Amino acid sequence: MLLKTSLRSFFAHKGRMMLSLMAIVLSVAFVSGTLVFSNTATGTFDKLFATTASDISVQPQQDKVTKGSSEPGKLATVPLATAQKIAALPGVKTAVGEVFTPNATLVNPATDKQVGPTSGAPTITGNWVDTPRNSLEITSGHVPQGPGQIVLDADTAKKAGLGLGSALRVITDSGSYDFAISGIATFKTTNPGAALAFVDTATAQRTLLGSNAYTSVEVYGDGSRSNDQLKADALSALGSGYLVKTAQEQKADNAKGVGSFLDFMKYAMLGFAGISLLVGGFLIINTFSMLVAQRTREIGLLRAIGGSRRQVNRSVLVEALILGVLGSTLGLGAGLGLAVLLIQLMKAVGMNLAGASLEIGWSVPVAAYAVGIVITVLAAWIPARRAGRISPMAALRDHGTPAEARANRIRAVVGLVLTLGGAALLLAAASATKAATGGAYLGYGVVLSLIGFVVLGPLLATTVVRLLGAALPKLFGPSGRLAQRNAMRNPRRTGATAAALMIGLALVTGASVFTSSMVSSTSSQIDKSVGADYIVTSNRALLTPAMVTAAKSTAGLAHLTEQKSLPVILTTPDGATTETSVAAVSPTFTTDFLLPVKTGTAESVNTGGISVDETFAAKHHLSVGDKLAIEYSHGRKQSLAIGLITAKGNSLFDGNFFTAIDTVGKAVPASELPSDVAVFGKAADGTDKGKAQALSALQDSLKAYPQLTVKDQAGYKAIIQGQVNSLLYMIYGLLGLAIVVAVLGVVNTLALSVVERTREIGLLRAIGLSRRQLRRMIRLESVVIAVFGALLGTGLGLAWGITAQRVLSGQGLAILTIPTGTIVVILLASALVGLLAALFPAFRAGRMNVLAAIATD
């Protein structure tokens, strides 16, 4: 019986449920799409690794110093003799020596353009070997033979426009090598997104390693022994100098690598889902509140003839349940579509999953229904409770919908306590001395103030909208006055609608305050402390000696400063060890960079001393003159005295340990010194013209190395700006969605309000309100709601952003920059959002038949 009335009521109001349904569908689609996508991707890679992993893989034991660092250093190798020893082990069918490195750069010599991905995914160069489980097969041409031939993977070749016979240059630490493409190889299953190039084994050893060895030996058994037995045999035969991994272990390693990227995707997508869920929740609350309000008389009648509170309450919840089930089902379907879309998208970044079949699994429908139903029923809970509280008197009251009870005192108290608590936490964060505690306060402060604002929303709606709308009657006459009153008549509804918009805009504003402060802080640091005119960096591995030589030969340069990065383990006098890296620099470094001195002298870096930063010094109670014990790779050791403690607050130097290349050279032989991570140049002629000339000369001499970027200070700042921008774009993307859903919310509220106010509108039309005036009234109400939400959002976001800057002021975010332009744009855009959201409801209202409106009972 209950179900029947609920069902009937649901379908009677299906139009009004449309937008809520859309919100649920959207959220559920994100959740299920993400899960299907990541299941499919993980499944595909598992399959790929399972079919291609060798039975056991023998790799050189990594140096204890280099192991933890991500700096590309010299490759450790397995000597030929060892490989032969492995091949002779019992149960081994074949043992294949492989040479692979991620440190080589592929260049198209015809255009001097880099081949393969320039960021993110790796380019791997190695030897072509035939193993029983090759992941690629040659689909045209033939395997590489001799010093002049190379094979490229098909996806990379296609992207770079290369084919059989095209020239391809490989640049390694030891030099540049030219090849002609002899074959194109295609992945048998899935391209995990890397670029691959293959030469024959001898060439690989000569060009990539510079020695007659392997980077790993892959072993395939004859089936007589298990992989674990093979591993045990290998370990006992080879001793402790090697790492031996079974197929299972290799698979786990690989999955971890791909997994971290997929995880990022997954969390980003779940972020989308979370935000649309949150905003969708407000939409559902509003829809059900309005349905309940519209049915006040009906419900009052039901109560008058003996319906219990619980029955009324439950009938609303059952309706929500129906909506939830329907939305989840549609969302699940849409989610599959989304997964397919994501797979296509991955193809664009080089990860080809197109051949894979969707893996859905039981977890996806469970998650979809759980999310969809729980959020709907939860959101409908408040309106349902309210419905249960409607008194039988309501049936007798004449004026259809009663003016909603004024936002109550409890709400005010709770909202104020939360908001003040949040504000107090933010203040505490801003004045915290330690960044870590400040960060924690900031986090709690953000959450608390957000919830506080959501709770206070309806109260603020009354006051803020009154202020906002005060000018409306003057500006827009009767439409303005009616709009202002309408926006205020239902503070709870206005509050919830605006809250949806507020959340998105608060995040955008906070993020843009943070990022613009970051840009201006870093720029000012560069201005203050960088004397070098140019910086040369590589997007792949290091700057090889050949590149440095080429740079040095440039005319118009006063000098060139080199910087190397060496992984080390530091032992401080307090006995603590730190895995980090030391920046070894040329003597001119101290003239190129104005090191911020806390104590000591910058010059000491050039005279056998080492610098530490203030935070590190404080942590380990270090002062100038204290000795640091340093262990480099290959067990080279040195003890250096601290000559300089750098003042904190400059992100260019924080966390760095500077010393001279010559000083390091005393402990580390030249053959073990890594190549440069960066090179800085200074123009001989300090005028703008001289600097520009030297810049183009430098770019010219490094033309053959497309992996290098040569930037002057302005260009360097632009790079930082660019890095920040890409972060911003991501945030904007995420929030674009939140705003779309928020717009849906405004449309939803207005459309339902128009339906609810049918008689009012009919009356207004009867006594002479023109269609235009009517539409304007609805548009203005919409704009008021949107601007209200935007004001709350930007206010909150400003508070968050400013606090974040204060918290990090010692961590390089010294300058607060408020992006006034962005904020003005946000406010204007919100007014536009309001106009846009009103289009449909205003159209509906304009089309309403006056007579029908008057007759509506």
Partner 1 sequence: MTTAATAVQDPQLPGDQPVTAASARQVTKAYGAGETRVTALDAVDVDIQRGRFTAIMGPSGSGKSTLMHCLAGLDTVSEGRIWIGDTEITGLKDKQLTRLRRDKIGFIFQAFNLLPTLNALENITLPMDIAGRRPDAAWLDQVVTTVGLADRLKHRPTQLSGGQQQRVAVARALAARPEIIFGDEPTGNLDSRSGAEVLTFLRRSVDELGQTMVMVTHDPVAASYADRVLFLADGVIVDEMHAPTADSVLERMRRFDGKRTS
- C-beta of 476: minimal distance to partner 1 in Å? 11
Are the C-beta atoms of 622 and 616 separated by less than 8 Å? yes
Which of 143, 759, 815, 827 contacts partner 1 by CB under 8 A? 759
Which of 188, 347, 385, 485 contacts partner 1 by CB under 8 A? 485
SS3 754: helix
281, amino acid identity: G
Structure tokens at 56: 């056991």
3-state helix vs strand vs coil in the chain, percent to 5: 60, 20, 25
Look up tokens 């803020």; give the residue: 464
The CA distance from 232 to 56, in Å, is 10
CB nearer to partner 1: pick between 7 and 766: 766
User: Up-side HSE of residue 382: CA atoms within 13 Å toward CB?
Assistant: 14
The vertex-760 CA angle with 755 and 763, nearest 5°, equals 130
The CA distance from 133 to 780, in Å, is 68
Residue 1 DSSP label? -
Which of 145, 344, 639, 770 contacts partner 1 by CB under 8 A? 770
CB nearer to partner 1: pick between 281 and 841: 841
Does 486 engage in binding with partner 1 (CB under 8 A)?
yes
The CA distance from 280 to 287, in Å, is 10
**What would the x/- binding string for partner 1 be over residues 402 to 421, using CB under 8 A?**
xx------------------
Does 844 engage in binding with partner 1 (CB under 8 A)?
no
Q: For residue 680, give Cα distances in angstroms to 260, 522, 528, 592, 651.
A: 33, 18, 16, 8, 18
Which of 769, 815, 818, 836 contacts partner 1 by CB under 8 A? 769
Which of 307, 365, 392, 400 contacts partner 1 by CB under 8 A? 400
Does 297 engage in binding with partner 1 (CB under 8 A)?
no
Which of 558, 731, 763, 836 contacts partner 1 by CB under 8 A? 763
CB nearer to partner 1: pick between 403 and 410: 403
- C-beta of 778: minimal distance to partner 1 in Å? 14
Residue 638 makes CB contacts below 8 A (sequence gap 6+) with: 629, 630, 632, 663, 664, 666, 667
The CA distance from 777 to 732, in Å, is 31
Total of chain residues touching partner 1, rule CB under 8 A:
29
Are the C-beta atoms of 335 and 360 separated by less than 8 Å? no
622-628: long-range contacts, CB 8 A cutoff, minimum separation 24 = 622/572, 622/573, 623/599, 624/599, 624/600, 626/572, 626/573, 627/573, 628/570, 628/571, 628/572
Binders in 251-270 for partner 1, by CB under 8 A? none
The CA distance from 775 to 483, in Å, is 10
Does 854 engage in binding with partner 1 (CB under 8 A)?
yes
Which of 338, 764, 780, 813 contacts partner 1 by CB under 8 A? 764
Binders in 500-529 for partner 1, by CB under 8 A? none
Residue 466 makes CB contacts below 8 A (sequence gap 6+) with: 484, 488
CB nearer to partner 1: pick between 202 and 396: 396
SS3 397: coil
Does 847 engage in binding with partner 1 (CB under 8 A)?
no
- C-beta of 775: minimal distance to partner 1 in Å? 13
- C-beta of 408: minimal distance to partner 1 in Å? 18
List, as one string, the DSSP characters of 703-765.
TT-TTEEEEEHHHHHHHHHHHHHHHHHHHHHHHHHHHHHHHHHHHHHHHHHHHHTHHHHHHHH
Residue 207 DSSP label? I
Does 1 engage in binding with partner 1 (CB under 8 A)?
no
Which of 481, 627, 711, 844 contacts partner 1 by CB under 8 A? 481
CB nearer to partner 1: pick between 562 and 781: 781
Structure tokens at 604: 């000491």
Which of 1, 305, 714, 767 contacts partner 1 by CB under 8 A? 767
The CA distance from 492 to 407, in Å, is 7
Does 492 engage in binding with partner 1 (CB under 8 A)?
no
The CA distance from 138 to 620, in Å, is 57
Which of 478, 545, 669, 736 contacts partner 1 by CB under 8 A? 478
The CA distance from 273 to 769, in Å, is 43
| Region binding partner 1 by CB under 8 A among candidate stretches 273-281, 348-356, 550-558, 761-769 | 761-769
Residue 208 DSSP label? I
Are the C-beta atoms of 299 and 312 separated by less than 8 Å? yes
| Region binding partner 1 by CB under 8 A among candidate stretches 16-24, 60-68, 575-583, 764-772 | 764-772
Does 768 engage in binding with partner 1 (CB under 8 A)?
yes
Does 494 engage in binding with partner 1 (CB under 8 A)?
no
- C-beta of 314: minimal distance to partner 1 in Å? 30
CB nearer to partner 1: pick between 225 and 481: 481
Strand pairing report for 123-127 and 195-199: parallel
Are the C-beta atoms of 54 and 251 separated by less than 8 Å? no
CB nearer to partner 1: pick between 605 and 774: 774
Look up tokens 């395939």; give the residue: 220
Which of 266, 489, 559, 620 contacts partner 1 by CB under 8 A? 489
**What would the x/- binding string for partner 1 be over residues 345 to 384, using CB under 8 A?**
----------------------------------------
Strand pairing report for 609-613 and 637-646: parallel
Strand partners, 599: 645
Strand partners, 105: 171
- C-beta of 767: minimal distance to partner 1 in Å? 5
Which of 110, 252, 471, 766 contacts partner 1 by CB under 8 A? 766
CB nearer to partner 1: pick between 109 and 400: 400
Which of 236, 398, 670, 687 contacts partner 1 by CB under 8 A? 398
- C-beta of 397: minimal distance to partner 1 in Å? 8
| Region binding partner 1 by CB under 8 A among candidate stretches 6-14, 264-272, 357-365, 755-763 | 755-763
Does 771 engage in binding with partner 1 (CB under 8 A)?
yes
CB nearer to partner 1: pick between 91 and 402: 402
Four-point Cα dihedral 72, 74, 75, 79, nearest 10? -170
SS3 121: coil
Does 389 engage in binding with partner 1 (CB under 8 A)?
no
Binders in 614-633 for partner 1, by CB under 8 A? none
The vertex-17 CA angle with 16 and 20, nearest 5°, equals 125
Binders in 175-194 for partner 1, by CB under 8 A? none
Does 462 engage in binding with partner 1 (CB under 8 A)?
no
CB nearer to partner 1: pick between 232 and 854: 854
CB nearer to partner 1: pick between 485 and 559: 485
Four-point Cα dihedral 256, 262, 268, 271, nearest 10? -80
Does 765 engage in binding with partner 1 (CB under 8 A)?
yes
- C-beta of 472: minimal distance to partner 1 in Å? 13
The CA distance from 291 to 632, in Å, is 71
Does 850 engage in binding with partner 1 (CB under 8 A)?
yes
- C-beta of 489: minimal distance to partner 1 in Å? 5
**What would the x/- binding string for partner 1 be over residues 773 to 802, using CB under 8 A?**
x-----------------------------
Does 120 engage in binding with partner 1 (CB under 8 A)?
no
**CB neighbour class for 725 (10 Å; exposed up to 12, middle 13-18, buried from 19):** middle
**Interhelix angle 491-529/713-756, nearest 10 degrees:** 180
Which of 345, 719, 824, 851 contacts partner 1 by CB under 8 A? 851
Where on the chain is the footprint of partner 1 (CB under 8 A)?
Answer: 398-403, 477-478, 481-482, 485-486, 488-489, 759-760, 763-771, 773, 850-851, 854
